[in-house]
């Protein structure tokens, strides 16, 4: 018995007759091998006729699939399967400048190495039997698991350790998101998250934020589309510095309660966030996964983040990971365990948090003196600075030896308002020249003056 024609395969799997639903079915068929690169798809009119929908509905599906890199259309060859997702690196590669090319690189979002705890003591005191590690051992060192559970914002049903916050996000997307699924994110948000969702074939819904977090009315509207997940940053938001307030966390939890939507919290700055944590998990523990990164507080090269919360997605993450790396280095886990228990390290991390807050305040004050209004309620390692024209600002600042990140890769939508992201961790003691340069970037062309 032969394989059914493509239009019949689509019709068999199709539920609602909408463009996104048709795109989701075809995308899933491309992902599971039912459709392969080069396979010819029906014409818009032919498929519309077979499915009993309008040609505009199929055209919408084709547009979604083209945007995701799944299909390509050629006038002579028609529409064919191309690939399952875009693999060109996406937004992320448009953010940092090339290392070593500028005198002052404020584009990276990374911590100040001078404020990180020294690892030499923890490494020298490391006592572990190397032969004890096994694929059959628990992926998390038991002593570290106990410490993390004690520090967690809510009692986690499951907890594991992975290689950093982005690794956690990548693996959670793999566990819960399928092609065509709707996913809610903050707008703006971190570019790698948008790239990972694009690679997964997700339909991204951006929800605007204010100085207290996701706007409730916009989130309520997004939830009508029944998203499978919400990805948010509970504090020290990258790029704006916004943190969820108590009232806003309550509002988000009230909107999500009773839905099947999973909330994924990326607490990427952790102990140096400079703001209190108001976790959705304290309100909806069975519907939330919290990610706690130690890269900015204890060291990026530790490559460690903990993931705790709802059991189902974390168990799926762990099972899938067992087919690959299986576990994160237990040696590095023990280093982190030692750092978390060291009083001197704890004091040093607290000092780093205060230093970042002071640097942020200094630059905000200098910008305010030059007529650029930035909220003082934010925290973290980044500042979201308005500019007249993003591209012009990035180029003009680079000409003065200053690297900043363009704002557009952070945005789901691209409104008329332009920004650059400035990482405050590497600020010099005197920020006057930087503030002058940013102020000039915020002025219309006719008002600009020369100088550094």
CATH number of the domain bearing residue 267? 3.40.640.10
Residues 333, 382: one domain?
Answer: no
How far apart are the two ends of the chain, measured CA to CA in Å?
Answer: 75
CATH code of 394's domain: 3.90.1150.10
Whether residue 452 lies inside any domain: the answer is no
CATH number at residue 65: 1.10.10.10
Q: Is residue 149 located within the same domain as residue 75?
A: no
In this prediction, residues 226-236 reach a mean pLDDT of 97
Element (H, E) at 94: none
| CA gap 424, 329 in Å, rounded | 31
Query: Could you give the CA distance from residue 345 to residue 266 in angstroms, rounded to a whole number?
Result: 23
Is residue 443 situated within a structural domain?
A: yes
Residues 235 and 312 in one domain: yes
Global confidence as pTM: 0.84
Residue 451 predicted with pLDDT over 80:
no
Question: Can you tell me the distance from the alpha carbon of 162 to that of 373, in angstroms, rounded to the nearest whole number?
Answer: 39
With H, G, I as helix, E, B as strand and everything else as coil, classify residue 403: strand
Decide if 1 is inside a domain.
no
Q: Among 178-182, 339-343, 352-356, which stretch is predicted with the lowest mean pLDDT?
A: 178-182
Tally of domains in the chain: 3
- The mean per-residue pLDDT over the stretch 289-306 comes to 96
Q: Summarize the confidence of residues 272-286 as an average pLDDT.
A: 98
pLDDT of amino acid 452 = 32
Contact 261, 285 (CB under 8 A): no
185 shares a domain with 98: no
Q: Are residues 316 and 352 in the same domain?
A: no
pLDDT at residue number 133: 61
In order of 63, 102, 128, the CA distances from 141 in angstroms are 47, 41, 11
Residue range(s) defining the domain that contains residue 282 = 119-342
Query: Is residue 248 scored above 80 in pLDDT?
Result: yes
The pLDDT value given to residue 3:
57
The pLDDT of residue 423: 97
pLDDT, residue 128, reads 60
CB 133 within 8 A of CB 430: no
**Which pair of tokens denotes residue 380?**
């973290």
Helix or strand holding residue 159 (H, E): strand 158-162
Question: Does 323 fall in a domain?
Answer: yes
CA distances for 40 relative to 29, 43, 54, 92, angstroms: 13, 9, 20, 32
337 and 368 share one domain = no
Average pLDDT estimate for 87-110:
77
3-state SS class at 215 = coil
Query: Alpha helix (H) ranges present in 44-156?
Result: 44-51, 55-67, 120-124, 142-151
Residue 390 covered by a domain: yes
Contact between residue 304 and residue 101 where contact means Cβ atoms under 8 Å apart: no
Whole-number Å distance between alpha carbons of 19 and 450: 52
| Domain co-membership, 62 together with 150 | no
Claim to verify: residue 179 and residue 156 sit in the same structural domain? yes
Asked if the structure places residue 400 within a domain, the reply is yes
Report residue 262: phi and psi, to 5°. Answer: -90, 135
- Last residue of one domain, picked from the residues 322, 342, 362: 342
In whole numbers, what is the pLDDT of the chain averaged over residues?
89
Residue 12 has φ and ψ, to the nearest 5°, of -65, -35
Name the domain boundary from 272, 307, 342. 342
Question: Which residue, 317, 342, 367, sits at the end of a domain?
Answer: 342
Predicted pLDDT at 450: 38
| pLDDT tens digits along 382-441 | 999 999 999 899 989 998 899 999 999 999 987 778 999 999 998 999 999 999 999 988
Please check whether residues 160 and 172 belong to one and the same domain: yes
Given a cut of 50, whether residue 244 has pLDDT beyond it is yes
110 versus 93: which is more confidently predicted? Answer: 110
Name the DSSP letter for residue 18. Answer: S
Asked whether residue 262 is assigned to any structural domain, the reply reads yes
Give the DSSP H or E segment for 128. none
Q: What is the pLDDT of residue 6?
A: 84
pLDDT digits (tens, 9 = 90+) for 136-168: 778 899 999 999 999 999 999 999 999 999 999
Q: d(Cα 200, Cα 172) in Å, to the nearest integer? A: 11
Beta bridge partners of 80: 40, 72
pLDDT in tens, 207-216: 999 999 999 9
402: left (phi over 0), alpha (psi -120 to 50) or beta: beta
Q: Please give the structure tokens belonging to residue 51.
A: 């499915």
Q: Are residues 439 and 356 in the same domain?
A: yes
Higher pLDDT, 442 or 368: 368
Phi, psi angle pair for 323, to nearest 5°: -85, -10
Q: Provide the pLDDT for residue 100.
A: 74
Can you spell out the DSSP letters for 222-236?
HHTT--SEEEE-SSS
Whole-number pLDDT of residue 67: 74
Q: What percent of the chain has pLDDT over 70?
A: 92
Residue 379 belongs to a domain: yes
Answer for the pair 306, 160: CB distance below 8 angstroms, yes or no.
yes
Within this chain, do residues 23 and 66 fall inside the same structural domain, yes or no? yes
Both 103 and 140 in one domain: the answer is: no
Give the model's pLDDT for residue 130: 52
Residue 449 has pLDDT above 60, yes or no: no
**Tokens encoding 284:** 């909806």
């Amino acid at each position: 018995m032969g394989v059914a024609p493509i239009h019949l395969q689509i019709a068999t799997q199709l539920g609602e007759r909408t463009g996104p639903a048709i795109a989701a079915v075809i995308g899933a068929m491309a992902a599971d091998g039912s459709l392969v690169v080069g396979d010819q798809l029906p014409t818009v009119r032919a498929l519309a006729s077979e499915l009993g929908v309008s040609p505009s509905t199929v055209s919408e599906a084709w547009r979604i699939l083209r945007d995701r890199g799944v299909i390509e259309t050629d006038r002579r060859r028609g529409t064919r399967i191309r690939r399952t997702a875009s693999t060109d690196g996406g937004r992320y590669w448009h953010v940092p400048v090339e290392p070593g090319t500028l005198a002052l690189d404020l584009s990276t979002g990374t911590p100040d190495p001078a404020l990180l705890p020294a690892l030499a003591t923890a490494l020298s005191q490391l006592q572990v039997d190397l032969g004890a590690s096994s694929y059959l051992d628990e992926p998390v060192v038991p002593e570290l698991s106990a410490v993390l559970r004690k520090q967690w914002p809510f009692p986690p049903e499951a907890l594991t350790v992975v290689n950093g916050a982005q690794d956690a996000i990548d693996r959670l997307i793999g566990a819960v998101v399928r092609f065509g699924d709707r996913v809610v994110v903050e707008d703006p948000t971190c570019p790698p998250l948008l790239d990972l969702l694009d690679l997964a074939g997700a339909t991204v819904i951006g929800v605007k934020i204010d100085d207290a977090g996701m706007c409730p009315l916009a989130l309520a509207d997004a939830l009508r589309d029944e998203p499978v997940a919400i990805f948010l940053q509970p504090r020290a938001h990258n790029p704006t510095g916004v943190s969820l307030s108590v009232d806003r966390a309550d509002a988000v939890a009230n909107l999500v309660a009773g839905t099947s939507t999973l909330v994924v919290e990326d607490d990427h700055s952790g102990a140096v966030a400079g703001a209190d944590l108001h976790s959705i998990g304290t309100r909806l523990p069975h519907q939330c996964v919290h990610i706690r990164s130690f890269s900015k507080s204890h060291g990026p090269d530790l490559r460690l983040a903990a993931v705790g919360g709802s059991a189902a997605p974390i168990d799926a993450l762990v099972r899938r990971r067992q087919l690959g790396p299986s576990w994160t280095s237990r040696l590095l886990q023990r280093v982190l365990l030692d750092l978390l228990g060291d009083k001197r390290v704890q004091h040093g991390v607290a000092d780093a948090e205060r230093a970042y807050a002071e640097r942020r305040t200094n630059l905000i004050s200098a910008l305010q003196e030059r007529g650029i209004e930035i909220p003082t309620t934010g925290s973290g390692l980044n500042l979201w600075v308005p500019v007249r024209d993003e591209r012009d600002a990035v180029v003009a600042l680079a000409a003065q030896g200053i690297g900043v990140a363009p704002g557009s890769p952070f945005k789901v939508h691209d409104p008329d308002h332009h920004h650059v992201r400035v990482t405050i961790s590497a600020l010099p003691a005197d920020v006057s020249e930087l503030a002058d340069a940013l102020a000039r970037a915020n002025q219309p062309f006719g008002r600009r003056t020369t100088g550094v």
